[in-house]
């Protein structure tokens, strides 16, 4: 089946594709435009700004067993679970295992190129592992990074990041912990799609001048697909894998987080979405913490089965210079979304 040139992606439905296969040659992409979504989500992120105090990074020569502070390895569990380790410790373990799994699969798909790794830490605790594979047989550039961060933010930043916090909470610096895995994968072949995923956990300690105040926590993340050319079977496979992961926990997760993804990755001034969506969620803490930790783990573990079969189908397809140019134009939209 001939692919559809992806000019302006829309929301994807598992029951009915909102696009038809183009009758035009793939060397002459046809524009596809869709209606602006009617719902604008309120997305709240903690951004690392000058107002947030985080210590300077220090390069390391070896990977440590953990980037957690010693007191966090078994302490700071903010759930009633009988598990012997904290949510912080188990989330770090999960993202580091996911990084290893994803990088191993990407190297295998490439057949030769290897990731280069940089390890860093911070004196007061925390650190990260950055891995980049570039100019391989399959991957133009692939990055898979994990980080563990300790810092302090002013009460204004905390209230902006978590609007539901108690208005009676005393002002004061708020210590926080954040950990996550983040990745962007750009294949060389224009018929192979770009993939982005990230999964993160955020937790605050009691403000320094309000000991005993309740600790706040939430999960965020998602996985989304951005093709330059649309193959129906690839999109169905990708979304079916996302739905399968979500359905293990709540049948409402996939439609809820799929819509969130569709609306979040919308480029307003162009009236188009960045890609063909996936799932996205943020500030998620309205379910049991153990369940959400398992959900984030399942989502991270679904990245490879959702993506690598598509890469195997598309990585060796012949393409023209014009098709490569179209891929670069669509990547410009990808960068544009991140800038605006």
Distance CA 187, CA 98 (A): 20
Contact 246, 23 (CB under 8 A): no
Contact 285, 78 (CB under 8 A): no
Contact 331, 268 (CB under 8 A): no
186 is known as an active-site residue:
no
Q: 330: burial class by Cβ within 10 Å (0-12, 13-18, 19+)?
A: buried
β-sheet bridge partners, residue 80: none
Quickly tell me which residue has 């990977």 as its tokens. 63
Q: For residue 273, what is the enclosing H or E element?
A: strand 272-273
Q: Which of 76, 186, 196, 237 is catalytic?
A: 196
β-sheet bridge partners, residue 187: 139
Count other C-beta atoms under 10 Å from residue 30's C-beta: 12
Please report which residue ranges of the chain form alpha helices under DSSP H.
87-110, 155-161, 232-247, 253-264, 289-301, 303-314, 321-339
Return the active site residues: 196
């Amino acid at each position: 089946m001939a692919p559809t040139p992806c000019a302006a992606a829309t929301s994807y439905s598992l029951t009915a594709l909102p696009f038809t296969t183009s009758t035009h040659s793939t060397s002459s992409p046809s524009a596809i435009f869709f209606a602006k979504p009617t719902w604008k989500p309120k997305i709240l992120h903690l951004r690392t700004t000058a107002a947030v105090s985080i210590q300077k990074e220090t390069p390391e020569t070896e990977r440590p067993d953990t980037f957690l502070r010693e007191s966090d390895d078994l302490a700071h569990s903010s759930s009633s679970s009988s598990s012997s380790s904290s949510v912080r410790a188990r989330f770090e373990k999960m993202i580091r295992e996911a990084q290893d799994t994803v990088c191993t699969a990407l190297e295998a798909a490439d057949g030769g190129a290897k990731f280069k790794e940089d390890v860093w830490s911070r004196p007061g605790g925390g650190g990260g592992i950055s891995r980049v594979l570039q100019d391989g047989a399959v991957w133009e550039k692939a990055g898979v990074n994990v980080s563990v961060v300790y810092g302090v933010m002013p009460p204004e930043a905390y209230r902006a990041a978590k609007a539901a916090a108690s208005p009676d909470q005393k002002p004061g610096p708020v210590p926080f912990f954040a950990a996550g895995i983040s990745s962007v994968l750009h294949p060389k072949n224009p018929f192979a799609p770009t993939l982005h995923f990230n999964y993160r956990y955020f937790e605050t300690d009691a403000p320094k001048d309000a000991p005993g105040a309740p600790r706040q926590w939430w999960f965020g993340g998602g996985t989304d697909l951005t093709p330059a050319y649309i193959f129906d079977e690839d999109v169905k496979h990708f979304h079916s894998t996302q739905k399968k992961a979500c359905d293990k926990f709540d049948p409402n997760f996939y439609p809820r987080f799929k819509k969130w993804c569709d609306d979040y990755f919308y480029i307003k001034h162009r009236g188009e979405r960045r890609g063909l969506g996936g799932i996205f969620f943020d500030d998620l803490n309205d379910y049991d913490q153990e369940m959400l930790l398992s959900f984030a783990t399942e989502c991270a573990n679904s990245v490879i089965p959702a993506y690598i079969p598509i890469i195997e189908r598309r990585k060796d397809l012949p393409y023209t210079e014009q098709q490569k140019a179209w891929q670069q134009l669509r990547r410009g939209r990808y960068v544009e979304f991140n800038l605006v």
